[in-house]
Structure 1
């Protein structure tokens, strides 16, 4: 089932100096870290965190990650990573993550992550339960997590 109607989850973060390379832009591999962080925080908002999945005998594993770049992020930029579930299948689901510069609204990168649901005891893929499917389809209803250190107006 393809979905696009729920408001995206957003994560704000600040680019740290250690994430930049000799060209003074964010090193390409860091964007995978950003995507993973956004997906982790999205799941925390959705199901209360990774530990809650494990407590149910579940896990999810990345089986595909694609990143496309439009521009470079630089030290001290504030990035907004918007996350929404774009597809829920029988055993897998996909997240689309859009990264923009929070202040300029310039597109930086986008990522698609495909996860497969696993049984932790056998480490084999399993069907996504109806309860998890419902949560994925509903999304995080526009929740925003601010890890950037900037104050955001609530207006």
Structure 2
């Protein structure tokens, strides 16, 4: 199993008056891709609630390399770059026609679903994340 890939097409309302994607929309693309990631790992994008946890973004970073414009077809690739005790970092690559146009990371902190206080994810969830991270690093172990 390789990294999650989310294809998108840039919509008109995501662009500024110059016809370039407004910078904050890159974070929205990353957010959409994180839900695809959860669906791939847990079987559904809202799967964290099955474990009584959620995650919240604690830090975001975007590096802009090339401009995206209206109607561009792009693919957001997601990988786990770090899995800590109470946090996880997802790494994003945004590509148009095979050329990387932006990269970024989101650091998520796991929280109790009801109290929103920081907590370690349950062992069963951690095991799924570790298995996914291992599989993405070596998609064809044979």
TM-score (norm 2): 0.87
- Among 39, 48, 65, the alignment partner of 1:70 is 65
Name the SS for the 1:38 alignment partner. Answer: helix
SS state at 1:25 partner: coil
Unaligned runs of 5+ in 2: 137-142
Alignment correspondent of 1:124: 117
Report if the CA contact (8 A) 2:36-2:45 is conserved: no
The answer (yes or no) to whether the contact 1:85–1:137 under 8 Å persists in 2 is no
What CA distance in whole angstroms lies between the structure 1 residues aligned with 2:126 and 2:82? 10
Which sections of structure 1, spanning at least 5 residues, go unmatched? 1-5, 143-155
| Number of residue equivalences | 135
Larger RCO (alpha carbons 8 Å, 6+ apart): 1
Matched with 2:128 is 135
Displaced runs of 4 or more, over 3 A = none
The equivalent residue for 1:13 is 8
More helix by share: 2
